[in-house]
Structure 1
């Protein structure tokens, strides 16, 4: 349960960014197969040992369909890696425009990030528990939150709230699933260079890079994927929230 070769992983948000990098890294490390799940279309050719499913992580039927395909195609599931998420930048109230934060925007961020993560985990736990234990372990769940849960900055109330909820779920989930030998860990990334960053001006990217003490640059999706693999391979990491951020602390 801690050896990547032969393992089957379910990766959400796998069409781009952190999820895509994680899927490719795990495949390069010898996993048996990946169920790649995303609401976006997959714009690249996937290897034969990848099954792609389009769907919304907050919809029960979509996730159940993906888990059914995983069981049918690979016969098992060993690791769940939640990388899907969205964000919105808006202050609680824009006093210049006399406009309050849109409730539907907040709801969408919370439903995709927090509710979606919870939904994937609650539905996949049963399939993870079907594995025969090895060293007392049957599988692992890895969530993705954000450093904004700790350093909530201006305009990030929705993303901070959703990330904080994911962090707060980590330990009780780990304790709930401990009876079946299933670990739960959350990664809280800093600012990473993903396709979303392509829309930002160069000076904004430079500002983010300089904000990160060491190394002074944006994180690479491959570095996130490397941590995912390391967590899987270390059986004593459980119930933890790990910051992956180059020592950044977001300003007010």
Structure 2
């Protein structure tokens, strides 16, 4: 699918990998809706995209991806501004680390696990189903394609570290639903892929002390540095433009394999 002129939804578009993806899509000519729980961040990114690429090229749509009503309202707002979206970049998510048993032997709070799975996995499914319902009714493009969605997993889906049960389970779920969802939506001409990023220089990562960041970067075989958010955005955009990519999970990690801790 050609990105130029298409309407795109980017969840988590107010910061980090989502922000980089929103900016890259706009650079390539898409009309971008920045979906984020943080309204101020969403409005800031949308305004900056508009200033760089022209008014009307981006709209801020604050929402909660775990809420059907909130997310549907954001999708409707984006459609009113740009027309129906053919591209979904689902980047929104949260991280967490908690051992299943505390130092005193007490079990981890169940609500912590439920929250991470609800945001990262249920939120992904919520975004996919609402996007697909709108996209399936659009006129087909070349090869019968109507749309494409890109999920965000993590290398933790494959080699999660100590304390990452909830995070790994949630991202493993995203990996697990990629192929069956691609098969489900094939009849509607909607492709589905997932990116599993490694260690990236996101705002969250940059809050860590410099020595910690350097140590993490040194664990990456090559290139021995943290990933640039722009590199994630470039891969996400390539998936859109490469029509034969479907049902695939792509690690983007510099050959990193996470140690137990």
TM range (shorter): over 0.9
SS of the residue corresponding to residue 39 of structure 2 reads coil
The 5 A counterparts of 1:1-252 are 2-31=1-30, 33-43=31-41, 44=44, 45-46=47-48, 47=50, 48=55, 49-94=57-102, 96-134=103-141, 135-252=143-260
Q: TM-score, normalised by structure 2?
A: 0.93
Change beyond 3 A, Cα 1:97–1:206: farther
2:206–2:213 contact (8 Å) kept in structure 1: no
Runs of 5+ in structure 1 lacking a partner? none
Per the TM alignment, residue 130 of structure 1 is displaced from its structure 2 partner at its CA by: 2.3
CA distance in 2, matches of 1:163, 1:92: 17
Distance 1:200 1:130 in 2: 45
Can you give the 5+ residue segments of structure 2 that lack an aligned partner in the other structure?
A: none
Aligned-pair Cα RMSD in Å: 1.1
Worse-superposed segment, 202-211 or 219-228: 202-211
Deviations 1:25-46 (A, max 9, x none): 1101111x11111011233234
SS of 1:42's equivalent in the other structure is helix
| 2:9 aligned counterpart, secondary structure | strand
TM-score normalised over the length of structure 1:
0.96
SS of alignment partner, residue 90 of structure 1: coil
Aligned length: 249
Q: C-alpha separation between the residues in 1 aligned to 2:73 and 2:65?
A: 11
Distance 1:122 1:189 in 2: 23
SS in 1 for 2:19: helix
> In proportion to residue count, which structure has more helix?
2
Counterparts of 1:100 and 1:60, CA distance in 2: 31
**Other structure's SS at 2:246 match:** coil
1:89 deviation in Å? 1.1
| Secondary structure of 2:81 counterpart | helix
